[in-house]
Chains A and B, each alone.
Chain A
């Protein structure tokens, strides 16, 4: 009863700090909307062009963010090694497709090889991620939260070291198999690469969301995320379910890795740090643990970066990171649970 009473009291009287918080939120939203609107009006074509670039990158972020969110959802671990797994996958795809198969120029045969290596890289990512969980995280499942977290940081260094030994310390250029062709649509320029990114990432995102939401395995994953003991009582093999989750997360990182190597055109041992941070930001922005949130967060971060870097009137590229993290900090102030995060209370 008391909690109900205070709840009503709180609703009636908004404190000054809360009021200021709200006003500032509308101010921030207003400024951003004005900035975007202004750019849209002065040069609509450039605006749309920049938007397409943003979505292009955002889809890649979404794939990586999915891995953060899946793993967080099921064992409440921020897997700091995930960005480096993405890096390792991009290096793997480079080693197999470019060096081993020698696919260094556009062509039908090389394009077919790309699809084969896409599959291989996803399998590679899945296997590495499952192994990481098996070797490093599983035995710490009942340990205090800090232990697996630090282990994840350590694992991130291990993967970076492997990447360093694999491709060296200097970024390596990848001779992409994707042609540099550009298509014109109503005055907009869309690169062939962008189509490939759309064609690869969107089905994978849909597939993974489908697996989690509609299949028996996915139901076991969601049950395990909510209550591990109760899941065992349902007959769910909890360890296997967690491994499966890591496999999906790894496969998504694999797809993102090869797409990055082929569209951006460089691989480097320290790629995982920055991309991991951005993807992690995306996951938190969308509400960590929420699949749609990861996709939405990835797209938003991609768009923020693109608008910041590419709009006619804007802060420009050197503010790119600052912008992304400022938006994250602001969002955490106004909506700590993320855009689609769980904020409603459950009855116990």
Chain B
């Protein structure tokens, strides 16, 4: 698939982010256009999750800027960024284990006031993941990894995001569930949500993406259309296991 010719939704310009003395992301720039699926791939420690956490306001860049729909969002606290329409399904799922599935979903819609619209989103999420409906009163921490991942994605969708950030949605899941998750990502995009995806499963992430960026130790190494990168021999050797 090729890059869409739509307006830029998220523009990350030359950001540098670090933890104390360690710099995890160095001068990274990329953009996500409306309606796209954009994948960030790279090996462990390449700075992918750090980048996503910075976009969501959990970390703040030392230099550089992040713009969302033309508005500067770097330096904003996380809860204000959610209000702008960026929802994040984080690495390791990070669901609230001692709460029911129901309450987790409600928390996803924490900032939304219109209860009728929230109910609609809830219905859509439960249609997308029928499994969650079966488990609706169960404590989230007692579910299987796959179910927790569905909950993490569903919870992010409850915020009716304009941009959905997904960090490693297929991590630790059985192959059949991985396929399901990727199908779901397509479905979500079709419903009009722009997606920024980080994945270990690089091949699947490239195939699904309109455009992809390859990160290496905090730098941007390569970029290009997802389908082209998926067949690029250099990529194949470095990230796709041969």
Interface assignment of A31: CB less than 8 Å from any CB of chain B: no
- What residues of chain B lie closer than 8 Å to A229, measured between beta carbons? 58, 78, 90, 94
Q: Does B33 contact A (CB under 8 A)?
A: no
Query: Does B197 reach chain A (CB closer than 8 Å)?
Result: no
State whether A237 and B99 are in contact (beta carbons under 8 Å apart), knowing that A216-B110, A229-B58 are contacts in the complex. Answer: no
Q: Does A230 contact B (CB under 8 A)?
A: yes
Report which residue of A222, A223, A232, A237 has the largest number of chain B beta carbons within 10 angstroms of its beta carbon: A232
Which residues of chain B in 129-160 are interfacial with respect to chain A, using CB atoms and an 8 Å cutoff?
141-145, 148, 155-156, 159
List which B44-71 residues lie within 8 A (CB) of chain A: 56-58
CA distance A347 to B143 in the complex (A): 8
Q: What does the 1/0 interface line of B58-92 toward A look like (CB < 8 Å)?
A: 10000000000000000001110011000110100
Q: Does A219 contact B (CB under 8 A)?
A: yes
> In the complex, what residue of chain A is closest to B156 when comparing beta carbons?
A233
Contact of A235 among B94, B96, B111, B142 (CB under 8 A): B111
Beta-carbon nearest neighbor of A233 in chain B: B88
Asked if A233 meets B142 with Cβ closer than 8 Å, knowing A223-B96, A226-B98, A346-B98, the reply is: no
CB distance from B223 to the nearest CB of A (A): 27
The contact size tier of chain B is 20 to 34
A55 to chain B, nearest CB (A): 30
Residue A236 at the B interface, CB < 8 A? yes
Contacts of B144 in A (CB 8 A): 347
- Interface check B95, CB cutoff 8 A: yes
Assess the B79–A237 pair: CB atoms within 8 A: yes
Residues of A within 8 A of B57 (CB): 232
Q: Check B56 against A233 for contact (C-beta < 8 Å).
A: yes
User: Does A63 lie at the interface of the complex (its beta carbon under 8 Å from any beta carbon of B)?
Assistant: no
CB pair B90–A223 under 8 Å, yes or no, is no
Q: Complex: how many Å from CA A219 to CA B145?
A: 24
Once bound together, how far apart are the Cα atoms of A217 and B103, in whole Å? Answer: 13
Contact A226 B96, CB 8 Å, known A233-B90, A235-B83, A236-B79: yes
Q: A346: which B residues are within 8 A, CB to CB?
A: 97-98, 141-142
User: A227-255, CB under 8 A of B: which get 1 and which 0?
Assistant: 10111111111100000000000000000
Q: Which residues of B contact A237 (CB under 8 A)?
A: 77, 79
Contact B77 A347 (CB under 8 A): no
Contact partners of B156 in chain A: CB under 8 A: 233
* Cα distance A231–B142 in the bound complex, in angstroms: 19
| B94 close to A230 (CB less than 8 A) | yes
- Cβ of A220 < 8 Å from any Cβ of B? yes
Known: A233-B87, A235-B110. A227 touches B79 (CB 8 A): no
Complex-state Cα separation, A222 to B107, whole angstroms: 10
- B106 at the A interface (CB under 8 A): yes
Q: Which residue of A lies closest to B165 (CB)?
A: A233
B residues neighboring A (CB under 8 Å): 56-58, 77-79, 82-83, 87-88, 90, 94-99, 103, 106-108, 110-111, 141-145, 148, 155-156, 159
Q: Name 29 interchain pairs, CB-CB below 8 A, sorted by A.
A: A219-B103, A219-B106, A219-B110, A220-B107, A222-B96, A222-B98, A222-B99, A223-B107, A229-B58, A229-B78, A230-B94, A232-B56, A232-B77, A232-B78, A232-B82, A233-B58, A233-B94, A234-B110, A234-B111, A235-B78, A235-B79, A235-B83, A235-B111, A236-B107, A237-B77, A346-B97, A346-B98, A346-B141, A346-B142
- Pairs A-B, 4 closest by C-beta atoms: A232-B78, A235-B82, A235-B111, A346-B141
